Amino acid sequence: MRPTVRDVMTTDVATVRTDATFKEIARVLMTRQVSGLPVVAADGTVVGVVSEADLLPKEEFKSVIDERPNLPRRAAKVARAKAVGATAAELMSSPAVAIAPDAPVAEAARTLAEHDIKRLPVVVEGRLVGVVSRADVLKVFLKSDAEIGDLVMEEVVKRCLWEDPEFVTVDVENGIVTLGGTLQLKSLIPIAVRLTAAIDGVVDVVDKLTYERDDTTAESQRYWR
């Protein structure tokens, strides 16, 4: 039910071999309009990722800047020659942080955020099957308000809470869901809110639910075994 990496990943992936030159990498990045590429060894396994940032010579920029306002031309030429001579194997970040195609999309999002990276190779036994990027992960937020409303009604109200949809309202505006109406038990309200927030495309949840019976007091729990 929950979308997995396979549902949102890109399968038409540009890659480079470990011996790709600086210029080849730059050209593939430019023509494919991507900001990073998996680096693939001769046996087809993913060994790293090379990105725009890896092509920019960090220390060299600094030395160029430090030498200003004198013309930085000479230092820049040296920096450039050094960077341009490198291959993918030398420039890439390795080992690649990768993910499996059956992992939940939210896990991909968390991995991307924690490692502060823009894309994850999707691998099965070390072989590349796709790439999942930040943009792919954010696809879950491209659902229309109507789609989100239907999902909340089906997945949360009917499937999880077993509530009668007659007594619950679900209004969605710009991905923000307002839950209204009456649930049978007070204890179900925070559960409804949490389940709704976990639905794809939901940006926030506004709780306007009321309840028929308060089952959260000691009195009401006395008979529970």
Partner 1 sequence: MWRYTAGEIMTPGALAVGADAPFAAVARVLAERHVHAVAVLDEERRVIGVVSEGDLMCKAAAKEPAEEVSPFLETRRRRAARAKAAGVVAGDLMSAPAVTVGVAAPVVDAAEELAQGRYRQLPVVDDAGRMLGMITRADLVQAFALPDEVVRAD
The minimum distance between CB 30 and partner 1, in angstroms, equals 6
- Closer residue to partner 1, CB minimum distance, 134 or 186: 134
Q: What is the DSSP string of 131-191?
A: EEEHHHHGGGGG--HHHHHHHIIIIIIIIIT---GGGEEEEEETTEEEEEEEEEETTHHHH
For residue 100, count CB atoms less than 10 angstroms from its CB and return exposed for 0-12, middle for 13-18, buried for 19 or more.
middle
The answer to whether the CB of 95 falls within 8 A of the CB of 70 is: no
Contact between 124 and partner 1 (CB under 8 A)? no
16-17/36-40 β-pairing: parallel
CB of 47 to partner 1, least distance (A): 21
| Pair 50, 37: CB distance under 8 Å | yes
Q: By C-alpha distance, which of 187, 17, 189, 81 is closest to 179?
A: 189
Q: Does 68 bind partner 1 (CB under 8 A)?
A: yes
Choose between 30 and 124: whose C-beta lies nearer to partner 1: 30
For residue 34, the minimal CB distance to partner 1 (Å) is 9
Does residue 113 touch partner 1 according to CB under 8 A? yes
CB of 224 to partner 1, least distance (A): 26
Which one among 64, 78, 153, 193 touches partner 1, defined by CB under 8 A?
A: 64
Residues making contact with partner 1 (CB under 8 A)? 22-23, 25-27, 29-30, 33, 35, 52-53, 55-58, 61-62, 64-65, 68, 72-73, 76, 80, 83-84, 104-107, 109-110, 112-113, 116, 118, 134-135, 137-142, 174-176, 197-198, 200-201, 203-204
